[in-house]
Structure formats: structure tokens, C-alpha cells
Amino acid sequence: MGLMAALIARDVRRAFNGGGATLVVAFFLLATILFPFAIGPDAKLLAQVGGGVIWAAALLAALMPVERLVAPDADAGVLDQLAVRGVSMAGVATAKIVAHWICFGPPLMLAAVAAAGLLNLSGTTLLKVEIGLLIGTPGLAALAVATSALVAGVRGAGAVAGLVMLPLAVPLLIFGAGSIDGGTGSVKLLAAVSLLLIAGAPFVAGAAMRATMD
């Protein structure tokens, strides 16, 4: 547990000190700020589509730091050192998922409050969005780490990561946006998809990280 906590703390420090966490929030806010300019100042229309806009922006923001989640450790030999010490790569992936969510989930939920004001969302709708983000962002973090491990060492990893991650994240986007108006059924489906990603991503990412060391 001590090593896992150290790995989580290390990745969190790297994300905040390197500006990665700030970049994610800035991109999210920029996307939500630009959207009202694109469709006009119709407050009723903004309120109708605002929840979906927040979810789409959250998905794209989650993609921003994907290249930096695994590749730097693979290039620096950190993964090899951990493997020599007998540390499970699935455990390392789990630590990275937790760290990425800490740097990505709560800041995004705070930024969603400002986005709700820009998109004319009511307090009730904002609460539903926040609940959805609380449930769905761990799944996004898990998917991001798994994608990062899969594309580590690949030329043009950023573009490849988008091609890999975005289609797999569509269920989260659909059920996340649907949870705003779709009742508890959509929330349960969102939770199921997020849980499936959280459970499976460490093993996929661990296998991919082991492959980079061969």
C-alpha cells in the first residue's frame, strides 16, 4: 500500500507541477465558453443542450493528457524498475487511474459549476450533471490510462489515442448526457459502464505496459 500511495502521489505532483491538470480544466472551460457563441444567445436552447455540451467537453478534456500518462515512465525505464521489484503492472495501472482521476475528476466537477452558468443550466440540472460526472469520470480516467498504455511508444500517439479512446467512450457520453433527463435508468447504465471500465482497464493497461518492456 505504501508503494501504491507513493506512485499515486508522484503522478499527482507531476500532473499539477507540469500544468497537465490545469490544461485539462482550461480546455474544458474554453469548449463550454465557445459553444454559446456557436449557437447564439438563445437561453432556452442553451439550457436544453447544456448538459450534453458539458459531457462532450469532459470527454475531450480527458483525452488531453493521454500521451503523458504512461509513455514518460516507459521511456525513462521506471516501469522496468518496478517490474524488477516484483510490482504488478496492473497495480501500477490502478495507481495511475486513481492519480489521473484525482487530477481530472474533481477539478472538472468544480469547473462544471462555471460552465453551468454560461449554459444557463438550472440548479436541478447542474446537480444531475455533477452526479453523472462523479459516476462517469472514474470510467473516463480508467479508459484514458488504458489508452495511454496501448499507444505508448507509437509514433503520433496523440492522434492514435483519439482514434482508440473516443469510440470506446461513446457509451459513457450517451448515458452521461442521458442521465440528465432519462431518470435513474440512465444513471444505472452509466454506473455499469463506468464500473466495467474501472474493473477491466488495469488489466488491459498492465498487459500493454508489459508489452512495452519486451
Q: Which three cell numbers stand for residue 102?
A: 484525482
Report the pLDDT averaged over residues 4-13: 86
Q: pLDDT tens digits for 155-186?
A: 666 667 777 788 888 888 888 888 887 677 88
pLDDT at res. 182: 67
Residue length of the chain: 214
Taking the CB of residue 162, how many other CB atoms lie within 10 A of it? Answer: 15
Half-sphere exposure of 138 (CA within 13 A, CB side): 19
Supply the pLDDT for residue 148: 87
Tell me which residue of 195, 4, 175 sits closest to 88, measured CA to CA: 4
**What is the mean pLDDT of the segment spanning 3-8?**
84
What does the pLDDT read at residue 126? 87
Q: For residue range 60-104, list pLDDT tens digits in order.
A: 888 888 878 888 888 888 888 888 888 888 999 999 999 999 988
pLDDT tens digits for range 31-63: 888 877 777 767 677 777 778 888 888 888 888
Q: What predicted TM-score, i.e. pTM, was given to this entire model? A: 0.88
CB 137 within 8 A of CB 101: yes
